[in-house]
Structure 1
Amino acid sequence: MASGRIEVIAYAGYRGEECPRAFVVGGVQVDVMKLLDLWTEENHFSKRRRRCFRVKGSDWRTYVICHDETGDEWSLV
């Protein structure tokens, strides 16, 4: 499975932080069935932050998708 930028359908909770609900991989929409893990990474040199989510998809695969808060871009890792 290739990594790179992906389209994500997200929900912003009461704190305004986005959480993925579904994403498109290879033209196919995969719904997020369960959030398995969540963490934040920060590059101390560039000060870029990204929030990463390990999720179980509706296709029963496990994915790691990240949201770059600075560029407002989602990627599959």
Structure 2
Amino acid sequence: MASGRIEVVAYAGYREDECPRAFVVGEVQVDIVKLLDLWTEENAFTGRRRRCFRVKGSDWRTYVLCHDETGDEWALA
């Protein structure tokens, strides 16, 4: 699968898009079976923040999904 913008189904708790549950690339949906790691990155020059999730997909591959909080966009890293 190529990296870039993707569609994500996320659990919205007290924080919007708190944790991804599945993502879609093209017409392929991958359900997330396990959250492996979570971290926040901030660009020192622009101040943009993104939350990144390292997850195990239902296809047993490991993915890194990042949510740009400023632009409200998800990307597959």
- In which range does the TM-score fall when normalised by the shorter chain? over 0.9
In the alignment, structure 1 segments of 5+ residues that lack a partner are none
Number of aligned residues: 76
RMSD of aligned alpha carbons: 1.0
> CA separation in 1, counterparts of 2:11 and 2:37?
17
TM-score (norm 2): 0.93
Identity of aligned residues (%): 86
Q: Which residue of 2 aligns with 1:33?
A: 33
> CA separation in 1, counterparts of 2:68 and 2:74?
6
> CA separation in 1, counterparts of 2:39 and 2:70?
16
- TM superposition outliers: structure 1 runs of 4+ over 3 Å: none
Describe the superposition over 1:9-51 as per-residue Cα deviations: whole angstroms up to 9, x where unpaired.
001223x142100001231110000000000000011000000
> CA separation in 2, counterparts of 1:42 and 1:70?
11
In the alignment, structure 2 segments of 5+ residues that lack a partner are none
Q: Which residue of 1 aligns with 2:5?
A: 5
> CA separation in 1, counterparts of 2:60 and 2:70?
30
TM-score (norm 1): 0.93
> CA separation in 2, counterparts of 1:28 and 1:2?
12
